[in-house]
Amino acid sequence: MRNDCKLILVEGLCGTGKSTLAERLHHYLVQQGRSCCFYDEGAEGHPVSLNWHAFFRAEEYKDLLERYPNTADEIRSRAIKDDSIYLLPYRGVKEFSEQDALYAELKSRELCWTDSPIATQPEFTYLIQRHWARFVEHASHTDTVYVLEAVVFQHQIHDLLRHYQASDNQIKQHIHGIAECIAAMNPVLIYLTQPSVRDQQVWISSIRSKPNFATEQNIRFMENRKRIELSLLDTLPFPAHTIENVNLDWDDVFCKMISAMSEAEVVQLTEGLLNEASKLLVNYMYPNGDYGKSQEEECKESLERLLDFHHADFYMAKVEGDYVGFIATNWGFSTTKGQPILRIQDLYVSDDYRRHGIAQLLVRRVLKIAKLKNANRIQLDTSSVNTPARRLYESLGFEWFSEKEIYMLFLNGHD
């Protein structure tokens, strides 16, 4: 993990293991000698969650002080003011909880996670983003690494959808406002997911004895939330890693989380990296190790020709000085759309680094490049028995077109 990373965000739908794995990650970092704080989504004293915060506009706040004169000083001492808006944290405050009427009023004016929102959507977004900015300012004066779960996507998007019927673009602007605030902390976001939202919600419904999780209405809501959240990952100004938990193998997922936070980087092939690249390519072409010097030279010559061919690219994953995988791409063109098409020709990760998120890192890099070049789609073919690869592509949004026997990911609508 980068030494300047001060924020790790663990996100995903209910039942993906966010709380358990985030807490485990916290203990791991402490064992590594890092100063670290962990807050789950319901923790008291949470540095960024605005649950248990009552919302008041200026006149409403003034009226509150007048109606509770004996508690006015306590209210003033705890109120958070942003322009003409006030937030009043009330959880665990004895002076508030001992007054039934006051406590009931504060509870009825919750900003977040409420059935009856009082704030407008612009007010909601403004207050959330301002609170994150305060947190970043506070964190800038410490060396602490914060591990937080379900505070960037889950609660934000839940409220925006449930309370305000926000559009995809409004949600994107809301999340981007937070992302821009926290970028200075060099964060890493880990998004935990499972293949089927329906199966996941039915399972967690039985585990937690919450039958409403398994209703059709909730399943559709969660499917839409997942769609939105996955679409946001590639737009964030910091690393975001998707980890799929297919078999509820928590140890495997935790290992992938650790790998995702390693200082892996993606570098493009240059003439100075031909030796490293040819070693990867020869291991890809001869997985049983049945090759010699001549095969290595052939691979190097092939990569030299690739450098001279302006419509092909080769990117390598580098972890702690070692080159551990590559992705090779080439460009085509859609005459019907008048846009480029990016084809993934080859994808390889060395044995010791498989199931560590390296392949996803490589695919995400070319996905960003395709978007920057306004490509219509990315496409590839893979073996029908290569289950790990197919899961990877499908987790990233690729669709299988059986009539063409290829995977395609459309970046701006289907042909």
Residue 415 above 60 pLDDT?
no
* Residue 223: exposure state from Cβ atoms within 10 A (0-12, 13-18, ≥19): middle
**What distance in Å separates the CA atoms of residue 315 and residue 329, rounded to the nearest whole number?**
9
Sequence-separated (6 or more) residues with CB below 8 Å from residue 234 = 240, 364, 367, 368, 371
Which residue type occupies 213?
F
Of the pLDDT bands very low, low, confident and very high (cuts 50, 70, 90), residue 150 is very high
Mean pLDDT, residues 83-100: 95
Of all residues in the chain, the percent with pLDDT exceeding 90 is 73
Residue bearing the bigger pLDDT, 415 or 74: 74
Give the chain's mean pLDDT: 92
Residue 240's pLDDT is 84
Mean pLDDT, residues 280-301: 94
Mean pLDDT, residues 105-128: 94
Residue 233's pLDDT is 84
Candidates 9, 299, 308, 357; CA nearest to 154 is 9
Residue 116 above 90 pLDDT?
no
Terminus-to-terminus CA distance in the chain, angstroms? Answer: 41
Q: 316 near 273, Cβ under 8 Å? A: yes
CATH class of the region 7-50+113-261: alpha beta
Mean pLDDT, residues 58-69: 97
Candidates 120, 146, 118, 50; CA nearest to 89 is 50
Decide: helix, strand or coil at residue 247: coil
Residue 38 above 90 pLDDT?
yes
Total-model pTM: 0.68
Mean pLDDT, residues 307-330: 94
**What distance in Å separates the CA atoms of residue 133 and residue 127, rounded to the nearest whole number?**
10
- Tokens 């977040």, located at residue: 112
**What distance in Å separates the CA atoms of residue 318 and residue 222, rounded to the nearest whole number?**
35
Residue 244's pLDDT is 85
Decide: helix, strand or coil at residue 244: strand
- Tokens 């978007």, located at residue: 371
What token pair was written down for 26? 């916290």
Of all residues in the chain, the percent with pLDDT exceeding 70 is 98
Query: Given its phi and psi angles, is residue 220 left (phi above 0), alpha (psi -120 to 50 degrees) or beta?
Result: alpha
Residue 15's pLDDT is 85
Sequence-separated (6 or more) residues with CB below 8 Å from residue 66 = none
Mean pLDDT, residues 47-69: 96
Decide: helix, strand or coil at residue 181: helix
Residue 206's pLDDT is 93
Of the pLDDT bands very low, low, confident and very high (cuts 50, 70, 90), residue 355 is low
Residue 360's pLDDT is 82
Residue 413's pLDDT is 60
CATH of domain 264-396: 3.40.630.30
Mean pLDDT, residues 250-264: 80
Mean pLDDT, residues 5-14: 94
Q: 53 near 87, Cβ under 8 Å? A: yes
Residue 245's pLDDT is 82
**What distance in Å separates the CA atoms of residue 164 and residue 349, rounded to the nearest whole number?**
44
Residue 2's pLDDT is 66
Residue 395 above 90 pLDDT?
no
Residue 17 above 70 pLDDT?
yes
Mean pLDDT, residues 394-399: 85
Residue 30 above 80 pLDDT?
yes
**What distance in Å separates the CA atoms of residue 127 and residue 149, rounded to the nearest whole number?**
19
Half-sphere exposure of 57 (CA within 13 A, CB side): 6
CATH 3.40.50.300 in the chain is located at 7-50+113-261
Q: Which helix (H) or strand (E) element contains residue 389?
A: helix 387-395
Residue 414's pLDDT is 58
Residue 356's pLDDT is 66
Write the pLDDT tens digit of every residue in 190-225: 999 988 999 989 989 998 999 999 999 999 999 999
CATH 3.40.630.30 in the chain is located at 264-396
Among 126-140, 306-320, 377-391, name the one with the lowest average pLDDT. Answer: 377-391
Decide: helix, strand or coil at residue 328: strand
Residue 144 above 80 pLDDT?
yes
Mean pLDDT, residues 334-359: 89
Candidates 46, 38, 58; CA nearest to 112 is 46
Compute the Cα dihedral for 140, 141, 145, 146 and give only its sign.
negative
Candidates 220, 116, 217; CA nearest to 163 is 116
Q: 266 near 411, Cβ under 8 Å? A: no
